[in-house]
Amino acid sequence: MNMERRNSPVRILAEPAYLAAFKGCGLGDRVVVEPDPDHPEDMLALVAKVKGQTIGYIPSESWLVDAVHLDDKTVNAKIVAIEGDENGTASVLLKASVASYGRWAKYWHATY
């Protein structure tokens, strides 16, 4: 994976369905990024959640999609910016990194 892409911030746009949870976001909030295999349109979709509430989805062209699905990585992310414009469009900017162990490691550690 290209290191430049790996360090690129990830933007999530506010979608009407998740606006209430989105408005509850704050700078520095931890964001859980995990696969959503039940997504009706994209079997590789990655959902982003803050405090257990869905705030949106990681864009399908993001480097995080490959990191999770191809490299079997776990994502650590936090909100570093909250932005809006005069047209009512809002977004959050995530700083994300990936852990060197797979996303299933937490289940292995809990079992053994």
Task: Encode pLDDT of 27-46 as tens digits.
Answer: 999 999 999 989 999 999 99
**Residue 105: what pLDDT?**
52
Neighbours of 2 (CB within 10 A): 9
Domain spans in the chain, listed from the N-terminal domain onward = 3-111
Residue 81 clears pLDDT 50, i.e. is over it: yes
Give ∠ CA 85-96-26 in degrees, rounded to 5. 45
Per mean pLDDT, which range of 2-6, 61-65, 99-103 is the poorest? 2-6
Could you give the CA distance from residue 43 to residue 95 in angstroms, rounded to a whole number? 24
- Among residues 53, 49, 67, 42, which one has the least CA distance to residue 12? 49
Helix H or strand E encompassing 108: helix 105-111
- Summarize pLDDT for 96-107 with one digit per residue, the tens: 888 765 555 554
- Among residues 66, 63, 29, 60, which one has the least CA distance to residue 47? 60
What CATH architecture applies to the domain 3-111? 2-Layer Sandwich (3.30)
